[in-house]
């Protein structure tokens, strides 16, 4: 049976005919599965006590945080008609390169010499402003001349008034003298008449005194009329002075009104000139919008408005340009149940579509083909899809993300949480509890409340 001898007895004896040999052979065969099961059980028990890193997995896509790094739509500021394309889909363009050329579709901009004609209107209005300046200067001189003439005329009339007043004073003095002479003559005539009645004076002497009295009365009457005439002359001169003041006030007011009208017309011309300048500047700037240029360096990925002769509206998308350089990030959407477990600054493991990877979420150190990231932003409000958005940027302390990665690529994130035994994680998953279901108890700082101090009266 041990096959020690070269003389075998297998051809004389069949072991299967012996019952004891069958029993021995059957017992050896049944012990192998037992040992295997025992070994698996031991391995399972040991594996349940291995450390396991709790994690939350979520799917998202690659994006960028910078607004200018997102795909951008090229738009036309003005409505127009497409005349010529200078690029094709997939072309690389630099900032300022011409994408397409459009022409105006509004009738007020059809004139090919629009800028020249508007410039001519501006020059004409400028010359009219110069004529207004000349007119205003002439009116100012006219006003000054009228003012000087008024002063001279007023001084002349005032001098005549002074002369008339002096004459009135002189005539008043002469009148007073003549009245005194009249009184003397009347007194002499009275005394001479008394003496004549007594026979002491002759008739000729009496008549002489009577003549002198009458002559004095005539002189007084003449002087009174002369004084009245001078007073009338003074009144006329006062009226003339008022008339001069009124006349020149009207002339000065009219001159001032004409000057203000000229100034107002000039201001209207200045306003019209400003509007023409603004219109000319708008026309000049509008012609710049006929050439739609690239706002940044990148690739023309899609042309939305195609063909020639097609009309585009102002603000309508014409083409899509994607920047050639951008800072990548990953946009992940999380369930509200998992959101309280994450904070800005937490580390994340990422797997990108198209890059081979072996991921063991509970043992991150054993995973290959994954990349590191850091949470930089968590939305404070829920999205329309019922999840919260989380932004993840590359972790600079780890290897950089692939250079071939593009915006829009799919990604899967593994948010690493606490480290627990495998048996705890299995139990948590079977019960449907969230990660970190049990939190360590924090010692409460107990303090004794003191009784309030009462004042002693």
CATH of the domain at 242: 1.10.287.1490
Q: What torsion do the CA atoms of 38, 40, 43, 45 make, to the nearest 10 degrees?
A: -70
pLDDT of residue 434: 65
- Per the domain annotation, does 259 fall within a domain? yes
Closest CA to 270 of 131, 136, 125: 125
pLDDT of residue 362: 54
Mean pLDDT calculated for residue range 307-330? 86
**More confident: 311 or 45:** 311
The average confidence (pLDDT) of the chain is 80
Q: Which of 79-88, 277-286, 447-456 has the lowest mean pLDDT?
A: 447-456
Helix, strand, coil abundance in the chain, percent, nearest 5: 50, 20, 30
The radius of gyration of the chain from alpha carbons, rounded to an integer in Å, stands at 62
- Per the domain annotation, does 379 fall within a domain? yes
User: What is the domain-level CATH number for residue 303?
Assistant: 2.40.50.100
- 131 with 268, same domain: the answer is yes
- 210 with 247, same domain: the answer is yes
pLDDT of residue 453: 42
- 274 with 135, same domain: the answer is yes
**pLDDT bucket at 16, cuts 50 / 70 / 90:** low
Percent of the chain predicted with pLDDT > 70 = 81
Ramachandran angles phi, psi of 37, nearest 5°? -65, -40
- Each residue of 397-411: pLDDT tens digit? 888 888 788 888 888
Percent of the chain predicted with pLDDT > 90 = 4
Name residue 331's beta-bridge partners: 61, 391
**pLDDT bucket at 328, cuts 50 / 70 / 90:** confident
- Per the domain annotation, does 103 fall within a domain? no
pLDDT of residue 323: 85
Q: Which of 263-272, 303-312, 444-453 has the lowest mean pLDDT?
A: 444-453
- 57 with 79, same domain: the answer is no
- Per the domain annotation, does 16 fall within a domain? no
Mean pLDDT calculated for residue range 362-366? 56
**pLDDT bucket at 445, cuts 50 / 70 / 90:** very low
Tally of domains in the chain: 3
Query: 339 with 378: CB under 8 angstroms?
Result: yes
Q: Which of 20-34, 43-57, 157-171 has the lowest mean pLDDT?
A: 20-34
Both structure tokens of 319: 């083409």
pLDDT of residue 100: 92
- 342 with 208, same domain: the answer is no
Distance CA 112, CA 36 (A): 95
- Each residue of 32-49: pLDDT tens digit? 677 778 888 888 777 677
Mean pLDDT calculated for residue range 13-24? 65
- Each residue of 84-116: pLDDT tens digit? 999 988 899 999 899 999 988 888 877 888 888
- Each residue of 285-297: pLDDT tens digit? 888 888 999 988 8
- Per the domain annotation, does 18 fall within a domain? no
Mean pLDDT calculated for residue range 382-391? 86
Distance CA 158, CA 144 (A): 21
**pLDDT bucket at 444, cuts 50 / 70 / 90:** very low
- Each residue of 120-145: pLDDT tens digit? 888 888 888 888 888 888 988 888 99
- Each residue of 2-12: pLDDT tens digit? 556 666 666 66
**pLDDT bucket at 30, cuts 50 / 70 / 90:** low
Distance CA 298, CA 99 (A): 12
Q: Which domain holds residue 161?
A: 114-288
Query: 154 with 245: CB under 8 angstroms?
Result: yes
- 314 with 252, same domain: the answer is no
pTM (global) more than 0.95: no
Inform me whether the pLDDT recorded for 197 exceeds 50: yes
């Amino acid at each position: 049976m041990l096959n020690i001898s070269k003389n075998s007895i297998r051809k004389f004896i069949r072991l299967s005919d012996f019952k004891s040999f069958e029993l021995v052979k059957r017992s050896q065969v049944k012990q192998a599965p037992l040992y295997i099961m025992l070994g698996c059980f031991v391995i399972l028990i040991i594996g349940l006590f291995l450390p396991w890193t709790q994690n939350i997995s979520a799917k998202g896509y690659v994006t960028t945080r910078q607004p200018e790094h997102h795909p951008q739509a090229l738009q036309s500021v003005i409505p127009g008609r497409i005349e010529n394309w200078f690029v094709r889909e997939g072309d690389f363009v630099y900032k300022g390169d011409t994408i397409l050329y459009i022409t105006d579709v509004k009738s007020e901009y059809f004139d090919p010499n629009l800028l020249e004609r508007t410039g001519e209107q501006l020059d004409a209005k400028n010359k009219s402003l110069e004529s207004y300046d000349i007119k205003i200067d002439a009116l100012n001189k006219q006003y000054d001349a009228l003012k000087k003439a008024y002063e001279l005329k007023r001084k002349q009339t005032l001098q005549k008034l002074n002369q008339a007043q002096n004459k009135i004073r002189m005539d008043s003095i002469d009148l007073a003298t003549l009245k005194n002479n009249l009184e003397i003559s009347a007194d002499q005539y009275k005394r001479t008449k008394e003496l004549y009645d007594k026979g002491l004076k002759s008739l000729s002497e009496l008549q002489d005194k009577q003549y002198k009295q009458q002559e004095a009365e005539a002189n007084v009457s003449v002087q009174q009329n002369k004084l009245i005439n001078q007073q009338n002359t003074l009144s006329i001169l006062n009226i003339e002075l008022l008339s001069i003041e009124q006349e020149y006030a009207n002339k000065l007011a009219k001159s001032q009104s004409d000057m203000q009208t000229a100034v107002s017309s000039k201001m209207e011309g200045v306003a019209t000139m400003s509007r023409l300048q603004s219109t000319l500047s708008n026309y000049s700037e509008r012609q710049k919008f006929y050439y739609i240029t690239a706002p940044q360096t990148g690739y023309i990925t899609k042309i939305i408005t195609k063909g020639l002769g097609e009309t585009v509206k102002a603000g309508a998308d014409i083409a899509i340009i994607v920047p050639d350089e951008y800072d990548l990030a990953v946009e992940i959407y999380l369930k509200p149940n998992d959101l309280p477990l994450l904070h800005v600054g937490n580390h994340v493991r990422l797997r990108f579509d198209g890059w081979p990877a072996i991921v063991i979420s509970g043992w991150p150190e054993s995973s290959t083909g994954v990349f590191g990231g850091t949470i930089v932003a968590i939305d404070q409000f829920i999205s329309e899809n019922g999840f919260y958005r989380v932004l993840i940027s590359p972790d600079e302390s780890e290897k950089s993300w692939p250079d071939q990665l593009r915006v829009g690529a799919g990604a899967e994130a593994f948010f690493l949480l606490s480290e627990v035994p495998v048996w705890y994680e299995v139990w948590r998953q079977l019960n449907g509890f969230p990660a970190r279901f049990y939190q360590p108890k924090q010692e409460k700082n107990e303090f004794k409340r003191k009784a309030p101090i009462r004042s002693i009266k």
